[in-house]
Structure 1
Amino acid sequence: MVAFGFDSVGILWLETWILNSNSPSRGLFKALGFRDEGLLRQRYFINGRSHDMRVLGLLNTVS
């Protein structure tokens, strides 16, 4: 899916926001080559609590 987006569609970067507490998802995206872009503190309010969101990104390095 990543290769299709970069090679066929011409996407320049991909970005994902995941709950900071979701370590399995963070591990999956890092295994795919995504890098930490930052932390959005108290970005979402879910079930009566605020949650931090981790932003991860992957750049298409082919010029």
Structure 2
Amino acid sequence: MQDKRLMTVNELADYLAVKPAWIYNNHRALGIPSRKVGGSLRFRLSEVDRWLDRECPVAA
């Protein structure tokens, strides 16, 4: 079963090991899958993982 949990900007920043400001500044330009819930950005872990696999391939 896929993880349907929604993460906050801070949780995603921790997951990606970046600062929350990086998420805010780059989520649209990089196409990080997101949604607005009550005016706040949220990210589904399974969608972010798919995005990472597609957009950030493993270095050789």
Q: Same fold (TM over 0.5)?
A: no
- Rg: which structure is higher? 1
Q: Which has the higher strand share?
A: 1
Q: Which has the higher helix share?
A: 2
TM-score (norm 1): 0.30
TM-score (norm 2): 0.30
